[in-house]
Structure 1
């Protein structure tokens, strides 16, 4: 299994959750990464896996040779790549050593940068199978992507019980607990700040929420240059004192645990790990109506239009106004994530794919 990096983000989380549940199977896994962020390396090694760093980051002149040696020495049945740089290098090397090649596409393809597509598309025809993290990602692929490859939708996954255990921390034990204490309703958004995540729409919705529920707080954990824009927007709208910026917190799951409503106003996603983690806490969730969110929440779950702050406000107010009904909605989401999007489910689907492809190589 080869990735560009093994940080704390969505792709390394999926790799970890799948590998955790492959650990006791008949499938042996070795993991490689091209350098860069390595926050997940020790966790993976803690599961008993060999994790090899191949260079100090992409691109490096000697990286293709080092990667070839690492793969050839291991002599795998399957080479499974994640992210464009790893795919660009791993696919031809996997084919060269006679392995079946699998690649996962994690995000909506039409939203990939031109440079990422240039790295990814030309070698897609070397894939024996392409894993898509959602039906929406599958539908975004160009018709000529991975011609002849099996296309398999295997949704992103989480370890819901571990997420809950980590998040269920009393406010008194959290360094930021006093900042959200005070009796008002808490609306939470856990995501990096970016235009695609739609935090501007959430701030624009806040005046209507505060008007109906005075003292409400919008708690956001994002970071980056866009924070200044959001602060300016909140000040202009007269709700700066109602916005709590927690920056990058050590335990974002605790933000979900202490929220009354969780909001994801994204413009597009692949299949949000953050949304799955929020579902694990049984809280009512407000999202936009983009296809990956509908896929995660279920067709009958209410959503709002993209880029419509007034709809966001109305849906959040509706949940805050009817807490018992909101709690029932949240509990159904908890049941859904436990049953459909666990690491065990994803690992079994990956294992079936690997065995099927390996059998064709024997």
Structure 2
């Protein structure tokens, strides 16, 4: 399905902080064939942690009919202009995927954007209608979506991870909402062709959450695919993805978020030129694609040198770091790591088998492209380690 990035408020703030020429160079680097040719875009429904304030599209108490629902300044001046610019640059179809981080706080048990919370029972249909109104509003402004997920990282709102806008769902409550509210509303709307993705959370939770969600037989016809994130992959084996594909072979799996520096909270988030970060991305993409993942999204398109802005101080690294003071941006190793794949594996490529030789330290994945070419991506981890070691030799040693 391709490769993508996220059109967050923070990303747009950073892009638009540059001069016109620098903006053009940055966007062409991402979305043209002379750049890394991305074709997927992730869009928050309302605010997320990578915004400069907590907000939704209806912050008016108990507006059950959503009569005061409105897009915000951030949509009209940040996200939508950036998305349209990317769409105009690419020679591909820019496929947009939407996800909500938090409902209006009056719909939640904790009355906060962050923290442990559930959706109040009386607002199940209102929250479904909210999603439809978002899709309607963006379509009225010339942007249609390929997919929508059932919510970003619902586990965050259960286990109370600080610093992230969230809504907690137990599998049983979310299944009820999807079957009785979200899917019927989506199916009855002008967006019935929009694909519905479950989870949008760590693959760590797949065995207990996804299987519980899919227990209802109707979910088999409602759901098109499963969205996973890469955090904590080191403690959740990739065979989880194989098992998922074997259980639900008609559903695709797609990786919808990755970033460096989320944990621990006290470390420096942005490390310019750190190739160990690029190494992590390359290894993860190969692991995902050799275990039935069909597409891969980076997180923020561009951040500043601190790893923000972020209204709850949840800073991370990014593939492009902007230094607005000097009117320049840095393409991080993360950017080039993605490009090693996105430049050579276009949408509708098909993964083919390749016999690995684990003794030589080279990780591989191979595809047949729509142009009847074979693309093989090789990641020589041992050579990278050797080069990093050589780069640390002092002048006296040399």
Greater helix share, structure number: 1
Q: Which has the higher strand share?
A: 2
TM-score, structure 1 normalization: 0.37
